Structure 1
Amino acid sequence: MRYEELADLPCSITRPLVLLGDRWTLLVLKEAFAGVRRFNAFRSHLGIPRSRLQDRLTRLVEHGVLARRPAEDGEHPEYRLTRKGHDLYPVLMAIRDWGDSHMAPDGPPVHYRHTGCDGEAHVKLECDACGTRLSAHDVTPQAGPGLR
């Protein structure tokens, strides 16, 4: 099976991986959340080849994660996160939590602080019915309406 064909599988983990499953796409999103909006800024922050960056930005726009808009100064277009894009923030924060726990021997390189109280932001998996904190041992996948 080709990588692109994975998008047709009825799996809500596999489908997004077709779009998000390479390091450059996630790094572009990380920069977008940090306020980067212009092609050359993405390029200088990431050191990514032009063609690869253009490919990733085009795919993110095609999938509605980013919107390409004229800049207010009219000079160069900007790439802005859409609502769909903003919904990916917990995904990046979950990766960051895992990285801080397992790949940061000297401690977190960056603290993500809640602006309102200066507490640290973390992703938590919990039951939407009772609020219990969950791990993989507490969850049982069951067929949903989208499974053919």
Structure 2
Amino acid sequence: MPDQEWTDPYCPVARTVDLLGDRWSLLIVRDALEGVRRFSDFQRGLGIARNILSDRLRSLLAAGIMAQRPNERGTRSEYVLTDRGRELFTVVAALRQWGERHAFTPGEEHSVLLDTATGAPVPPVAVTGAHGGALDETNTHVRRVEPRG
């Protein structure tokens, strides 16, 4: 993406938000992770306008997060996640779990991510260090890159 203007060119979080920072892009990725492939199915499931969906899909294609391929009948294209896109599973799972804890009132119904093998809810996503212990903002730091020039 050589023509991309980055909010903060040295920060991986800022670049990721630049690529995925609107609600539609992440919801398209969420739906693709759940098996949605067709334009019409994305549109119907999300209730998104055609022009916005087209724009977001173009952006996801350009970022290498999704790819377009002919469907089984060869009549229309479908959209599939690339390896890069499938790597967003952990991000979406972490957002889902944060939302379960903080975006619903106690007892309010919501969808739940389940382990297919056991049927149990997926355990909380956690960042761990080489020692196996939990990492958070108190025991990590960012090595910043200073802009040149």
State whether TM-score is above 0.5: yes
Per the alignment, residue 131 of structure 1 pairs with 132
Is residue 6–residue 15 contact of structure 1 (8 Å, CA) maintained in 2?
yes
Partner Cα separation in structure 2 for residue 113 and residue 107 of structure 1: 18
- Say which structure, 1 or 2, has more relative contact order (CA 8 Å, 6+ apart): 2
Q: Structure 2: which amino acid aligns with 1:81? A: L
Q: Which runs of 5+ in 2 are unaligned?
A: none
Per the alignment, residue 116 of structure 2 pairs with 115
Partner Cα separation in structure 2 for residue 18 and residue 61 of structure 1: 14
Determine helix, strand or coil for the equivalent of 1:67.
Answer: strand
Give the Å deviation of 1:58. 0.6
Q: Which runs of 5+ in 1 are unaligned?
A: none
Deviates more, 1:131-140 or 1:55-64: 131-140
Determine helix, strand or coil for the equivalent of 2:79.
Answer: strand
2:47 pairs with 1:47:
yes
Per the alignment, residue 77 of structure 1 pairs with 77
Give the Å deviation of 1:118. 2.4
Determine helix, strand or coil for the equivalent of 1:80.
Answer: strand
Determine what percentage of the aligned residue pairs are the same residue.
36
- Deviation string 1:2-33 (CA, Å, 9 cap, x unpaired) is xx622561111011111100001011111111
TM-score using structure 2 length: 0.88
Partner Cα separation in structure 2 for residue 108 and residue 136 of structure 1: 31
Runs of 4+ in structure 1 deviating by more than 3 angstroms, as ranges, are none
Is residue 70–residue 76 contact of structure 1 (8 Å, CA) maintained in 2?
yes
TM-score using structure 1 length: 0.88
Partner Cα separation in structure 2 for residue 101 and residue 69 of structure 1: 37
Structure 2 matches for 1:9-88, cutoff 5 A? 9-88=9-88
Give the Å deviation of 1:61. 0.7
Deviates more, 1:4-13 or 1:15-24: 4-13
Is residue 8–residue 14 contact of structure 2 (8 Å, CA) maintained in 1?
no
Determine helix, strand or coil for the equivalent of 2:68.
Answer: strand
Q: Aligned pairs, how many? A: 143
Is residue 7–residue 16 contact of structure 1 (8 Å, CA) maintained in 2?
no
Determine helix, strand or coil for the equivalent of 2:12.
Answer: coil
